[in-house]
Structure 1
């Protein structure tokens, strides 16, 4: 289960033609990832080399150890809101600890086999926080987009826009012009030359114009200084271990985002190559990669859907392409670091604006808004909490409300009716056209029958509370048909036990018929055994015979 795809590929045979194809794909993805890694790091509130460290270290480990054949890992836009807040509150040392904890959580999740549970994530929650993250990214880039002269950007959405409004008069025409040029170049290349690296070309064009005309726009060099030309040693900032419990919610959010996005990316890759990823092995690899990124002073990392798709379209055949992508990024950093200092920040803001628009998936958002009320509630709640409050709160609240919506729907689907149509052992109705009232009239005097249709779980167990109150005079025998109950939980067993006790106090014999394997096993494990006044029979005809004998006695 935890065997890396790289091992499988090498065992099956790997030749020079495969290496050439992977090298071309790795170089192509590295060209795309270079501007993104720097832009994502700056948007997260740290320096551009942190993004490069993450793409190199985590990208290599994700490909080498992962459970997907063509997955590309690195920093992604999904982490920007949570990383920005963590750095503001706890410093970069707090982020290092947060990333370490998230990596350990991912490793534990993979070892416990939780990767398969990610597919049960409600789509309105994913769409809601994804769209919210896109709005947050756009909001974080207004300063560089307009060239506003202001101090640190506030983390809170309303405070941030209030600060923008106060400094709107400091907008720089040069920054606005460069951002417009960058966006126009990206959109034009995507329309007429979709195979070209639009982000890198736009960045080069903006840099050339900025240098040639000596435009007074802020650059990477003017804000962050010269970029390093080597990977860092194991010498990261002081880690505030005493604040571990404060960082646990953010760590969980990072682990959650890394797990969900990496497995979504792996599913997309499977669809493109006709493969099948190993979800639990992928989670373990993501955990190791995040630990490695933290130890090198990097950012959280996960599988990147856009870069993975670029990798597939470029002809990647194995995880070697992702490993070479990391190697090419390291080479670019070593050779091009002196030139990167001239890149204008407005151009990087333009790149992130396009990323945010792509990430918003407004078509999915609009489509989900036509779903039932419960799904719309989950979508809007997650979206607004992500934008106005906190991504951690948004995910937790979205999951809780989605669970309650699901429980409500399941409870509504459970039917406790008085239908008594006779069923044979194969479940075929003897007289499907007969009316229930006519059949109830044919029951022996002193016998009542009710049937449960649907799962008897905690959301529906209260349906049995007032069942006996519906009788004008209490029967001698009460048959509860459960052939159509697929599952029972502890609350359902407790409801049955309470019903049996109420029947005993009223002198009613309770007969439960047609238990399926799961309810029968749960009822036995919870020691609800046959006793005086409570009987279990395999089918309805035998239950009717037992009830007739009880009435006769």
Structure 2
């Protein structure tokens, strides 16, 4: 038996950062060199993405950089994965865009802070392991929906449309695009096409090169060299600040906390799921094993800090984490170095970033949207059973046309109902005529009459199989109505019931009451450990002459014979 001290020690060990584990085990100069090179590689990849994701979210580009620096450093320093790279990701774009439009940047600060606290609480409550049970159709559905939302959000900059703010909703957004399609700028279209062509070409011929950065450089050189009339970061946002991220606490609408809670839950959910999925991918690439609850706590701390330093929501980024592993990163130092390089880039290159065309950033995000769409997984899930297809399409359509929060909630609820329906459908009740021997006879073709003949006169038996939970409990309601003449003893075989819940116990109690009213003795045989424990906890105990629990079917038959004999003797 564990002592309280051991229990507390084990609990605290769940939150030990991997950086501490690595440094305690010894950290060599060779490992440092590999991590520095990997961090530099990831920083080059993350630089254009951070700005593009911030702009697509309705924020300024430096907020994306601040997020990648502050949150990226803390996720690596405090997290439960050795190679996780954190920062802003495309999954947050739809929800962040809507929050900023409706509540301003102060509302987003509050949302991110609340999400950070939720993630810390989830980690401390050891909910990290539950993330692995997220239904895949829900994940695929909302990921594909996010991809469509990102794609639609980039049409204005990709075509250079001369219009005001882009509506947050999908249909009004495309209606606005259609009204302003005549204002499309050839220069913007050409730069978008150039950016896409460069990305595709580099990925085909030099896949290890930083494709997004190369695309931005090519588009910027062409736009500046030819003096193309295309909108740039500088023309829309002005010069980027070349200074350290500072503590920023703007007006926060605390009075609207209740309105912002759904969005906070969505941000926390996305941050938790994406970070743990990224950690699982990293484990597969490195052969390591992450600490899921430590990762959630780190994500919570990083999001809270990002909000207070003028950033955006952050999480583990699968693509950047994979880049880190392929570049040779093997310890959290690579992620911390990546944040340091991003800070250096911002301090040194901020004056030049103003010349980057927004069409080039749109090209980058169009490719990102395709990358996260999981088109192959979407097509594959469409060949799944009807319930999975329903969950997939419902989550996808709600994400695109309504709201990510509603989509996740509806997807999870629908997936739960599909699961319950399947479990209830797998629950079977069969009469004694169809039973095979309790002692484990492998011959399923055994004659039914021989089973029926074993039942003494006045005894009936039914076998139930599958989980006896609230979705299947009503199957026991009309069990006794199948007998023209009520038996004296009714054997309920439960050897094949691995799980029972409160509704299942209630159904057993209801069956017992019906048996009692008709003068039938109920004998339950073969209870497995979990049903035994739950039945005992809910005070369903044996009652002499009414309810008996026996170990197996043979014992049930022997008891039934004695009970029938006793009844006959009493007459």
**How does 1:238-253 map onto structure 2 within 5 Å?**
238-253=251-266
- Is the counterpart of residue 544 in structure 1 residue 553 in structure 2? no
* Distance across 2 between alignment mates of 1:477 and 1:497: 16
Which residue number in structure 2 is paired with residue 458 of structure 1?
A: 470
Which residue number in structure 2 is paired with residue 225 of structure 1?
A: 238
Aligned with 1:525 (options 537, 540, 552)? 537
* Distance across 2 between alignment mates of 1:324 and 1:358: 26
User: Once the two structures are superposed, what CA deviation does each residue of 1:119-168 show, in whole Å capped at 9, x if it has no partner?
Assistant: 10000000000000000000000000000011100000000000000000
* Distance across 2 between alignment mates of 1:90 and 1:10: 43
Which residue number in structure 2 is paired with residue 386 of structure 1?
A: 399
Structure 2 unaligned residues grouped into runs of 5+ = 1-13, 567-571
Which residue number in structure 2 is paired with residue 209 of structure 1?
A: 222
* Distance across 2 between alignment mates of 1:237 and 1:144: 29
* Distance across 2 between alignment mates of 1:248 and 1:147: 35
Which residue number in structure 1 is paired with residue 452 of structure 2?
A: 440
**How does 1:461-500 map onto structure 2 within 5 Å?**
461-500=473-512
Which residue number in structure 2 is paired with residue 506 of structure 1?
A: 518
* Distance across 2 between alignment mates of 1:311 and 1:164: 38
**TM-score of the superposed pair, with normalisation by structure 1:** 0.98
Aligned with 1:123 (options 119, 136, 146)? 136
1:441 positional shift = 3.6
* Distance across 2 between alignment mates of 1:366 and 1:433: 41
**Is the contact between residue 436 and residue 446 of structure 2 (CA under 8 Å) also seen in structure 1?**
no
User: Once the two structures are superposed, what CA deviation does each residue of 1:155-188 show, in whole Å capped at 9, x if it has no partner?
Assistant: 0000000000000010000000000000000000
1:323 positional shift = 0.2
* Distance across 2 between alignment mates of 1:7 and 1:248: 34
**How does 1:46-195 map onto structure 2 within 5 Å?**
46-195=59-208
**How does 1:293-332 map onto structure 2 within 5 Å?**
293-332=306-345
* Distance across 1 between alignment mates of 2:40 and 2:442: 70
* Distance across 2 between alignment mates of 1:462 and 1:304: 46
1:535 positional shift = 1.0
* Distance across 2 between alignment mates of 1:513 and 1:113: 37
User: Once the two structures are superposed, what CA deviation does each residue of 1:370-414 show, in whole Å capped at 9, x if it has no partner?
Assistant: 000000000000000000000000000000000100111111111
* Distance across 1 between alignment mates of 2:560 and 2:465: 21
* Distance across 2 between alignment mates of 1:342 and 1:92: 25
* Distance across 2 between alignment mates of 1:430 and 1:51: 64
- Is the counterpart of residue 282 in structure 1 residue 295 in structure 2? yes
* Distance across 1 between alignment mates of 2:519 and 2:59: 74
1:233 positional shift = 2.5
SS at match of 2:432: coil
* Distance across 2 between alignment mates of 1:307 and 1:18: 19
Aligned with 2:528 (options 506, 510, 516)? 516
CA shift in 2, pair 1:48/1:477, >3 Å: same
Aligned with 1:406 (options 407, 416, 419)? 419
SS at match of 1:486: coil
**How does 1:28-47 map onto structure 2 within 5 Å?**
28-47=41-60
**TM-score of the superposed pair, with normalisation by structure 2:** 0.95
* Distance across 2 between alignment mates of 1:422 and 1:345: 72
* Distance across 2 between alignment mates of 1:539 and 1:68: 48
User: Once the two structures are superposed, what CA deviation does each residue of 1:186-225 show, in whole Å capped at 9, x if it has no partner?
Assistant: 0000000101101001101100111111100000000000
User: Once the two structures are superposed, what CA deviation does each residue of 1:430-483 show, in whole Å capped at 9, x if it has no partner?
Assistant: 975333344224421110000111111111111101100100110000000111
Does 256-265 or 430-439 show the bigger shift?
A: 430-439
CA shift in 2, pair 1:431/1:59, >3 Å: closer
Which residue number in structure 1 is paired with residue 461 of structure 2?
A: 449
SS at match of 1:548: helix
1:15 positional shift = 1.1
* Distance across 2 between alignment mates of 1:101 and 1:127: 26
Structure 1 unaligned residues grouped into runs of 5+ = none
**Is the contact between residue 418 and residue 436 of structure 1 (CA under 8 Å) also seen in structure 2?**
no
Which residue number in structure 2 is paired with residue 5 of structure 1?
A: 18
**Is the contact between residue 199 and residue 212 of structure 2 (CA under 8 Å) also seen in structure 1?**
yes
Report the aligned-residue RMSD.
Answer: 1.1
SS at match of 1:84: helix
**Is the contact between residue 432 and residue 460 of structure 2 (CA under 8 Å) also seen in structure 1?**
no
Which residue number in structure 1 is paired with residue 11 of structure 2?
A: none
SS at match of 2:467: coil
* Distance across 2 between alignment mates of 1:180 and 1:174: 10
* Distance across 1 between alignment mates of 2:85 and 2:67: 12
1:422 positional shift = 6.0
**Is the contact between residue 422 and residue 541 of structure 1 (CA under 8 Å) also seen in structure 2?**
no
* Distance across 2 between alignment mates of 1:306 and 1:546: 65
